[in-house]
Amino acid sequence: MSFEFCNVYLKRLGHVWLCVGAMADGTIRFTAFSNRSREEALNSGVKTLKPWEKPVKAERAPNRVEKVFRLMGEAYMGRKVKRLPPLAWSRLKPFTRKVLGLTLQIPRGYVTGYGAVAEVLGFPRAARAVGLALALNPFPLLIPCHRVIRGDLTLGGYSIGLEVKAEILRREGVAFEKAEGALKVKPECYLSCEKLREKVKGDFKVF
């Protein structure tokens, strides 16, 4: 199998490091970020590549990548991402594409559960598979996997820490409360399976 090269770009925005991988055809292969270190952002992005996709560090980002950095920065601050750049959807498994496509439809200011996503997709017993697909999301911030939590309203997991997940959600308008010694999303911000169906009107994107 011949190698494909993925140009990797890094940029610091305030205290956050952003990382973007772009393929030769202009599609974005991954995004990643870290509020701890440049290395963590880089490693988080590169680990999503296939063995035949070779990362190449590039110094100067072209305009299309600078636009991606701006979108990531806006998403990190809780602002709406109005239009996605061309993402490498075809390199993802069909189930992952479905999960991420539905996740895109979750409105700012709301969250839903892994089980609710599975139910709406027509796989009611696949909550764990949904969680795995979101954990492997190669486009964090752009695809808002942080808007999916546990059914008990606790945050679940997040690759760079639950504090970051909670902070992004707060910026998007999600309210929290302390209950039973744990940080939980307030029920009014949670979309049940039925409410999620209403929000997406059964017309979620499958790429």
Residue ranges covered by each domain of the chain: 4-89, 93-200
Give the Å distances, CA to CA, from 167 to 75, 146, 158, 193. Answer: 12, 10, 12, 24
Query: In this structure, are residues 1 and 52 in contact, taking their beta carbons and an 8 Å threshold?
Result: yes
Query: How far, in Å, CA of 193 to CA of 185, rounded?
Result: 16
pLDDT of residue 206: 47
Asked if domains 4-89 and 93-200 share a fold, the reply is no
CATH of domain 4-89: 3.30.420
The CATH architecture of the domain made up of 93-200 is Orthogonal Bundle (1.10)
What is residue 207's predicted lDDT score, i.e. its pLDDT? 45
pLDDT in tens, 30-74: 999 999 999 999 999 999 999 999 999 998 999 999 999 999 999
Split at pLDDT 50, 70, 90, the class of 82 is confident
Rounded to an integer, what distance in angstroms lies between the CA atom of residue 62 and that of residue 69?
11
What 3-state DSSP class applies to 28?
A: strand
Q: With residue 76 as reference, give the H or E element that holds it.
A: helix 63-76
3-state secondary structure at position 8: strand
The pTM is what?
0.93
Q: Is 189 a catalytic residue?
A: no
Q: Given 6, 19, 145, 189, which residue is catalytic? A: 145
